[in-house]
């Protein structure tokens, strides 16, 4: 993209913010007209906090902001939006039970005498949805019918519909597939050409060359570097973000594959998982690629027994082939899972790292059900060191940890349990580059010790970095398999060619 040309639109100077500890320390940032200003930094660097201050969600403790010539001190998100600063949050704030249209316009439902004008609402909703390529959806259908990716698009559509001078996007592509990301980038480019300025937070290095006009790097709440244009050497960025040299070499130092540790045969679950057969060998990381809604999450959950299968069988190692009826059976058989939504399904956010790391059927215990506290503390400390979890103590609630550290806690739990097979669903979504590297390395070490991993990811770069083989899913089936050395084009083509529209969304139309 072209270098920033416009005048400064939004200027922030000396912004500081402390929660329980200082999070932002005298950070300054300026945003020029028609630029895409990318913010990068490790988990917890303060990117979202800075964005939230700009967007009026939280007040700064110190510092000033100006929007054009006038001071910018929004007291609320609504005030910021009125001034033309619109923000898409990192955590999705949508209402699954309500219709798409209502989700898009909840704070400004068209109404007459307090009565919602549905016709206008739906007309506007169709327009807003078309903007993000969801024009074919019925705005009356409940949001609950959409998968995570499409929900993210709805959230973005909500922001795009507002007249804005500044658009703040906090990790918008974390849940998007390549195709959807492309669509979003097209939009951003269009908005920029219309003079809108964008603040863009991401962890994905591969996106920089495609949209960044400028890249600012935050580390521990301080501004550390700024780069013009998007062509920055990844190694340098990682160094700036982490404050140390980036680990050399890919994590995929592949060992020869051994015996089959996981064999899935003819697994079915309604229309979402159809006759899936696959094998994972010891020493192997097998990837699952596919478009949003292809059924990867469902497949992993069905293998794990979290959702009931209607037919098929699963075998772990030399064990008996059969269906796993519950996660309990799966864990007993030697499988562990990193769920897609780790905050809800993987962790107890209010509980300590110690409790979460040892949340397993076989907790360290002395006799007849009584917890052996010293043994427990030792085990938790061992996981903390082994997994390089960054926390103040093992008593810190995991809700306060960064995404990457949260994921390390879940991973550490399964490794401590001694499982043979790990099912990983988007294990590094929203995780910074350094923590991502650590997680990949830990997974690699796990397979090198004889384990097997089945890993679903929407990020082709991740699949390339760590997988020995990649299976492509579409419409609940496995439609292609690639050995190392595959190209993005080939995988994407396979995912598209066989992509069948899901029956779920069709039903939404007909109602």
Partner 1 sequence: MNRTRLGEWGVLVFVWLGLVALFGTLADHFLSATTLTTVASRLPALAVVAAGMTLVIIAGGIDLSVGSVMALSGAVLGVAIVQWGWPLAAAIPVAILTGALAGLGTGLVTVGLGIPSFLVTLGSLEICRGLTYAVCDSRTLFIGAAIRPLAQPMPILGIPPTVPVALAVVVAAQAILSRTVFGRHLVAIGASEPAVRLAGIDTSTPRVAVFVLSGALAGLAAVFASARLGSADPNAGAGLELAAIAAVVIGGTSLSGGSGSVVGSLLGVLVIATLEAGLAQLGASEPLKRIVTGGAIIAAVAADALRRRWEGERG
Ligand X SMILES: Nc1ncnc2c1ncn2[C@@H]1O[C@H](COP(=O)(O)OP(=O)(O)OP(=O)(O)O)[C@@H](O)[C@H]1O
Residue 102 CB, nearest distance to ligand X (Å)?
Answer: 18
Among 38-46, 79-87, 411-419, 489-497, the segment contacting ligand X (CB under 6 A)? 38-46
Helix (H, G, I), strand (E, B) or coil at 346: helix
Nearest CA to 509 out of 216, 144, 139, 226 is that of: 139
Distances (CA, A) of 259 to 225, 263, 279, 281, 335: 48, 11, 10, 5, 16
Place of tokens 């960044």: 212
CA–CA distance, 465 with 487 (Å, rounded to integer) = 13
Residue 284 or 340 having the CB closest to Mg ion: 340
Among 106-114, 141-149, 382-390, 493-501, the segment contacting ligand X (CB under 6 A)? 141-149
CA–CA distance, 293 with 295 (Å, rounded to integer) = 5
From the list 44, 133, 312, 412, which residue makes contact with ligand X (rule: CB under 6 A)? Answer: 44
Among ligand X, Mg ion, partner 1, none, partner that 437 touches (CB below 5 to 8 angstroms by kind): none
Our finding on whether 438 is near Mg ion (CB under 5 A) is no
Residue 2 or 20 having the CB closest to partner 1: 20
Residue 32 or 301 having the CB closest to partner 1: 301
Residue 368 CB, nearest distance to ligand X (Å)?
Answer: 39
Interaction residues for Mg ion, span 23-62 (CB under 5 A): 48
**Residue 258 · residue 451 · CB < 8 Å:** no
Residue 124 or 203 having the CB closest to ligand X: 203
Residue 225 or 332 having the CB closest to ligand X: 225
Nearest CA to 307 out of 293, 294, 325, 291 is that of: 325
Residue 283 CB, nearest distance to ligand X (Å)?
Answer: 25
Residue 107 or 206 having the CB closest to partner 1: 107
Our finding on whether 356 is near Mg ion (CB under 5 A) is no
Residue 99 or 177 having the CB closest to partner 1: 99
Among Mg ion, partner 1, ligand X, none, partner that 290 touches (CB below 5 to 8 angstroms by kind): ligand X
Contacts of 482 (CB under 8 A, 6+ apart): 469, 470, 472, 490, 491, 494
Among Mg ion, partner 1, ligand X, none, partner that 75 touches (CB below 5 to 8 angstroms by kind): none
**Residue 216 · residue 37 · CB < 8 Å:** yes
If residue 454 lies in a helix (H) or strand (E), which one and from where to where?
strand 452-456
Our finding on whether 292 is near ligand X (CB under 6 A) is yes
At 200, phi and psi to the nearest 5? -130, 120
In sequence order, what are the beta bridge partners of 29?
A: 12
- Cα-based torsion angle of the residue sequence 253, 259, 262, 267 in order, rounded to the nearest 10 degrees: 120
Among partner 1, Mg ion, ligand X, none, partner that 507 touches (CB below 5 to 8 angstroms by kind): partner 1
Among Mg ion, ligand X, partner 1, none, partner that 120 touches (CB below 5 to 8 angstroms by kind): none
Contacts of 372 (CB under 8 A, 6+ apart): 364, 365, 366
CA–CA distance, 110 with 120 (Å, rounded to integer) = 7
Our finding on whether 149 is near ligand X (CB under 6 A) is yes
Among Mg ion, partner 1, ligand X, none, partner that 396 touches (CB below 5 to 8 angstroms by kind): none
From the list 293, 334, 412, 475, which residue makes contact with ligand X (rule: CB under 6 A)? Answer: 293
**Residue 373 · residue 399 · CB < 8 Å:** no
# of chain residues touching ligand X (CB under 6 A): 33
CA–CA distance, 472 with 480 (Å, rounded to integer) = 5
Helix (H, G, I), strand (E, B) or coil at 7: coil
- DSSP code for 142: B
Residue 46 or 412 having the CB closest to ligand X: 46
CA–CA distance, 130 with 112 (Å, rounded to integer) = 26
Site residues for partner 1 per CB under 8 A: 19-20, 57, 76-78, 81, 89, 93-99, 102, 106-107, 109, 111, 114-116, 140-142, 270-271, 304, 306, 326-328, 330-332, 336-337, 339, 344-352, 355, 359-361, 363, 365, 369-371, 373, 395, 413, 417, 503-504, 507, 511
Q: Count of CB atoms within 10 A of residue 344's CB?
A: 9
Our finding on whether 148 is near ligand X (CB under 6 A) is yes
Among 339-347, 407-415, 461-469, 477-485, the segment contacting Mg ion (CB under 5 A)? 339-347
Q: What is the CA radius of gyration of the chain?
A: 23
Site string for Mg ion, 258-297 (x = CB under 5 A): --------------------------------------xx
Q: Count of CB atoms within 10 A of residue 290's CB?
A: 29
Site string for Mg ion, 79-118 (x = CB under 5 A): -----------x----------------------------
Our finding on whether 181 is near ligand X (CB under 6 A) is no
Among partner 1, ligand X, Mg ion, none, partner that 49 touches (CB below 5 to 8 angstroms by kind): ligand X
Question: Strand order in 421-425's β-sheet?
Answer: 335-338, 421-425, 452-456, 284-290, 469-474, 477-483
- Give me the helices (H) in 175-316, please: 178-193, 208-211, 234-242, 296-304
Site residues for ligand X per CB under 6 A: 19, 23, 41, 43-49, 90, 145-149, 272, 290, 292-298, 340, 400, 402-403, 432, 458, 502, 504
Residues contributing to the site for Mg ion (CB under 5 A): 48, 90, 296-297, 340
């Amino acid at each position: 993209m072209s270098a920033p040309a416009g005048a400064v639109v939004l200027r922030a100077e000396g912004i500081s913010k402390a929660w329980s500890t200082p999070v932002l320390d005298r950070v300054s940032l300026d945003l020029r007209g028609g630029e895409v200003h990318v913010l990068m930094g490790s988990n917890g660097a303060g990117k979202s906090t800075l964005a939230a201050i700009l967007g009026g969600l939280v007040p700064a403790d110190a510092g000033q902001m100006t929007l054009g010539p006038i001071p910018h001190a929004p007291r609320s998100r609504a005030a910021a939006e009125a001034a033309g600063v619109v923000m898409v949050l990192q955590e999705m704030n949508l209402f699954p039970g309500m219709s798409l249209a209502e989700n898009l316009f909840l704070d400004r439902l068209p109404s007459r005498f307090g009565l919602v004008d549905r016709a206008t609402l739906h007309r506007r909703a169709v327009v807003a949805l078309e903007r993000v390529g969801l024009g074919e959806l019925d705005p009356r259908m409940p949001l609950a019918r959409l998968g995570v990716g499409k929900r993210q698009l709805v959230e973005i559509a909500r922001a795009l519909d507002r007249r804005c001078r500044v658009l703040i996007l906090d990790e918008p592509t974390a849940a998007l597939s390549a195709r959807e990301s492309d669509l979003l980038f097209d939009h951003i480019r269009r908005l920029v050409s219309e003079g809108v300025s964008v603040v863009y937070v991401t962890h994905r290095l591969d996106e920089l060359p495609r949209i960044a006009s400028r890249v600012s790097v935050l580390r521990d709440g301080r501004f550390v570097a700024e780069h013009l244009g998007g062509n920055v050497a990844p190694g340098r960025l990682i160094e700036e973000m982490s404050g140390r040299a980036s680990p050399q070499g890919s994590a995929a130092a592949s060992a020869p594959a051994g015996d089959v540790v996981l064999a899935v045969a003819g697994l079915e679950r309604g229309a979402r998982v159809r006759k899936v057969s696959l094998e994972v060998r010891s020493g192997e990381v097998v990837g699952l690629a596919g478009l949003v809604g292809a059924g990867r999450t469902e497949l992993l959950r069905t293998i794990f027994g979290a959702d009931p299968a209607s037919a098929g069988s699963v075998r772990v190692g030399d064990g008996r082939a059969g269906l796993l009826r519950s996660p309990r059976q799966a864990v007993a058989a030697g499988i562990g899972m990193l769920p897609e939504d780790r905050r809800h399904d993987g962790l107890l956010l209010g509980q300590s790292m110690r409790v979460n790391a040892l949340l397993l059927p076989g907790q360290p215990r002395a006799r007849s059900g009584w917890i052996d506290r010293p043994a427990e503390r030792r085990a938790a400390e061992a996981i903390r060191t082994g997994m390089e979890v960054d926390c103040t103590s093992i008593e810190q609630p995991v809700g306060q940890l960064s995404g990457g550290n949260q994921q390390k806690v879940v991973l550490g739990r399964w490794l401590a349990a001694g499982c043979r097979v790990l099912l990983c669903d988007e294990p590094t979504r929203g995780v910074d580059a350094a923590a991502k590297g650590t997680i990949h390395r830990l997974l690699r070490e796990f397979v090198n010790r004889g384990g097997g991993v089945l890993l679903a990811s929407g990020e082709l770069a991740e699949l390339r970095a760590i997988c020995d083989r990649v299976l492509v899913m579409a419409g609940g089936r496995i439609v292609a398999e690639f050995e190392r050395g595959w190209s993005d084009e080939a995988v994407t083509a396979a995912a598209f060619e066989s992509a069948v529209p899901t029956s779920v969304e069709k039903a939404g139309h007909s109602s």
